Structure 1
Amino acid sequence: MSPRRSPGVLEAEILTVLHEASGALSPGEVRGLLGDKGGGELSYSAVVTTLTRLYDKGIVTRERSGRAYRYATPADPSGLVAWRMSRLLDAEADHAPVLTHFISGLSTGDEELVRRLLLGEDGNGA
């Protein structure tokens, strides 16, 4: 039996599988690909539940395929990166040190972009 995953790990693993896929996948296909990546004994219902939660959060899309659904990540990879950053931040109780280290590691241009975005500017030189 595989050790229990930390919260959010299965979501991240499923998102990676979906992102690397050439098209929408069924829960069974996702489960199979997770197994190929060392996912171990993962139940079908765990995959379906996680996919449904990701869909409810607006992180993945789904389309009807017979009586089931096929799932995919949105075409915009920046949304996936933003979701992952948010999950990492949620893992820390005190956000200040994390954000401080993150911002101090930014290039001057990216730091200025963050400032403009926080001031409500569009980030495109407005």
Structure 2
Amino acid sequence: MLEDEVLAALWAAAGPMSPADVQAELGGSLAYTTVMTTLARLHRKGLATRERAGRGFVYAPAVGEAAHTAEAMRDLLARRSDRAAVLAEFVSRLSPDDEQVLQRLLREVDG
């Protein structure tokens, strides 16, 4: 999804980015207006901040990558009727390393 690609560029940046910066980071194949529209949409959704820079704006992420991903996972899970089955399937597909991380995090929450 284009919004995710633009957010990834913002997360990877050292500071706020102009639409031209984002366009270049994404390889330059997207139209400038497409990048501007996507950034404006992310700002309206509260996922990016913007501040005036000259005649235009520069953008930065308003949420961290982990928080954004966790919210997307939570939203997806909320739309399913059998949450336990979805969670069981998710856990069964984790790599051994990810499973260990999850177990450690669950112990920390319980502790």
Question: Does the alignment reach a TM-score above 0.5?
Answer: yes
The runs of 4+ residues in structure 1 deviating greater than 4 Å are none
TM-score for both structures, normalised by structure 1: 0.61
Please identify, of 101-110 and 62-71, the stretch whose mean Cα deviation from structure 2 is larger.
101-110
In terms of fraction of residues, the more helix-rich structure is 2
1:43-122 aligned at under 5 Å gives the runs 43-74=31-62, 76-85=64-73, 89=76, 95-96=80-81, 100-102=85-87, 105=91, 107=103, 110=106
CA-to-aligned-CA distance 1:55-75 (integer Å, 9 cap, x gap): 000011111101111011136
> In the alignment, is the contact (CA less than 8 A) between 1:26 and 1:70 conserved in 2?
yes
Q: Which runs of 5+ in 1 are unaligned?
A: 1-8, 114-122
Kindly, what percent of the aligned residue pairs are identical? 37
Question: How far apart are residue 84 of structure 1 and its match?
Answer: 4.1
SS in structure 2 of the partner of residue 95 of structure 1: coil
SS in structure 2 of the partner of residue 52 of structure 1: helix
Partner Cα distance (1:64, 1:102) in 2 = 43
15, 21, 25: which one aligns with 1:23: 15
**CA root-mean-square deviation:** 3.2
Partner Cα distance (1:99, 1:58) in 2 = 30
Match of residue 120 from structure 1: none
6, 10, 18: which one aligns with 1:14: 6
Q: Residue 96 of structure 1 aligns to which amino acid in structure 2? A: S
CA-to-aligned-CA distance 1:44-94 (integer Å, 9 cap, x gap): 11111111111000011111101111011136444322344367x29xxx6
* CA 51–26 in structure 1, closer or farther in 2 if over 3 Å, else same: same
CA-to-aligned-CA distance 1:2-56 (integer Å, 9 cap, x gap): xxxxxxx100000101000000000010000001xxxx62111111111111100
Give the total of aligned pairs: 99
Q: Which runs of 5+ in 2 are unaligned?
A: 92-101
TM-score for both structures, normalised by structure 2: 0.68
SS in structure 2 of the partner of residue 96 of structure 1: coil
